[in-house]
Structure 1
Amino acid sequence: MDLASLTTERLVLTAVSQDDLADLHALHADPRVWRHLPSGVHTSAQQTSDEITMYAADWERDALGYWTARRRDGGDLVGIGGVRLKPTATWNLYYRVSADHHGQGYAGELVEAAMQAAATVAPDAPVVAYLLEHNEASRRTAERAGLTQVWRGPDRDVPGGVRLVYADRDLPTATLAALH
């Protein structure tokens, strides 16, 4: 099964590629999509391009990774997301939706496709969402996807931040330690 191009009820999901650079840079440079992590704003197209290169390598290595999500009716960029296999042998669940499309259920639609794809490619690998506690929308999306909180503690990247780890199953202590 080729997971590099899928459709959902409202989205066309395609494996992230450099062809998406302009749209993905505009998304990642928009401070509205980083209000919970302002330091994440991309300040150059090269920064976005470097991430796309890394994400494209995931597809080559694991036959799954992050997708660019566009509306089926018109092709407007909705966001980026999916799963990528981490060295911890867990799928990292990621979703970033453009501010113009917040609150319309697109993240949930993207997450549902990602969860199904992860179960198809490597069902023994847990799906994990790593998010900041104050990001209520991200937490609700993870919970609606059936993930439960398995860890809460200080964030190693955000001074004073509290990180939550959600997973689709219990995680071994060693895996949890590697995640935070």
Structure 2
Amino acid sequence: MAHPGAAGPAGVLTARLELRRPAEADADAILRIHRDPLTCEHNPSDMITVRPEAVDRCRRWRAHWQRHGFGYWVVRRRGAERVIGFCGLKLMRLHDAPVLNLFYRLEPAAWGAGLASEAAAAVVEAAPAGRPVIARVRPGNVASARVAVRAGLHRAEHLDTEGADGLDWIFTTASF
């Protein structure tokens, strides 16, 4: 693993977390976390209910790493084996501009301890240069908005857009 707060080929270490690249075996954790109605309450289109969907999602995450050299990390507490969530960046377009979309989703048992903010801040710090980082937050998801701000993003109302589940508020690291 890399030094605290720094990304390396094996992963990222923070004060309390280990972030590592996804492996095929992570499909079960992807299914466990993404089939929980609480984790997808604000983004129901992300919910999955069967293992083949989790295997496909894991394959897509791994392919993004292969193509771009960055992507979504698997999040665990330091020294623990259990996957508690996922956090990372995906290349996408927002208003015809290339951006890095910040994603974070932890199991409900990990909520409320600042772990999502810790993971998101480490991901933003390790983000590849040259493109702004954005977070798409549903208006009612106050906790997600707090994570985005704690990770160093600021609200950019002029970039708000319709997403798969309705209006997305945009938070970003840059002005554009």
Name the SS of the counterpart of 1:33 in structure 2.
coil
Q: For 2:164, which of 157, 167, 170 is the aligned residue?
A: 157
* Pair 1:134–1:10, CA change in 2 (3 A): same
Q: For 1:74, which of 73, 80, 105 is the aligned residue?
A: 80
Q: For 2:149, which of 140, 143, 157 is the aligned residue?
A: 143
Pairwise CA distance, 1:153: 4.7
Pairwise CA distance, 1:156: 4.0
Q: For 2:173, which of 168, 171, 177 is the aligned residue?
A: 168
Match of 1:128? Answer: 134
Match of 2:107? Answer: 98
Name the SS of the counterpart of 1:86 in structure 2.
strand
Unaligned segments of structure 1, at least 5 residues: 172-180
Name the SS of the counterpart of 1:89 in structure 2.
strand
Pairwise CA distance, 1:75: 2.1
Check conservation: 2:121, 2:150, Cα contact below 8 A.
no
Q: Which moved more, 1:148-157 or 1:9-18?
A: 148-157
Name the amino acid aligned to 2:171. Answer: Y
Name the SS of the counterpart of 1:155 in structure 2.
strand
| CA distance in structure 2 between the aligned counterparts of 1:156 and 1:141, rounded to whole angstroms | 19
| CA distance in structure 2 between the aligned counterparts of 1:123 and 1:139, rounded to whole angstroms | 23
| CA distance in structure 2 between the aligned counterparts of 1:84 and 1:156, rounded to whole angstroms | 15
When normalised by structure 2's length, the TM-score is 0.86
Pairwise CA distance, 1:48: 1.4
Check conservation: 1:3, 1:63, Cα contact below 8 A.
no
RMSD: 1.7
Aligned length: 166
Indicate the structure with greater helix content.
Answer: 1
Q: Which moved more, 1:1-10 or 1:59-68?
A: 1-10
Match of 1:29? Answer: 35
Q: For 1:51, which of 38, 52, 57 is the aligned residue?
A: 57
Pairwise CA distance, 1:2: 3.0
The 4+ residue runs of structure 1 with deviation greater than 6 A are none
| CA distance in structure 1 between the aligned counterparts of 2:107 and 2:64, rounded to whole angstroms | 23
Check conservation: 1:126, 1:169, Cα contact below 8 A.
yes
* Pair 1:108–1:81, CA change in 2 (3 A): same
Pairwise CA distance, 1:64: 0.8
Percentage of pairs with the same residue: 30
Name the SS of the counterpart of 2:129 in structure 1.
coil
Match of 2:121? Answer: 112
Unaligned segments of structure 2, at least 5 residues: 1-6
- Deviation per CA, 1:23-66: give whole Å up to 9, x if none: 12101111111122334321111111111111111111111110
Name the SS of the counterpart of 1:34 in structure 2.
coil
| CA distance in structure 2 between the aligned counterparts of 1:39 and 1:59, rounded to whole angstroms | 23
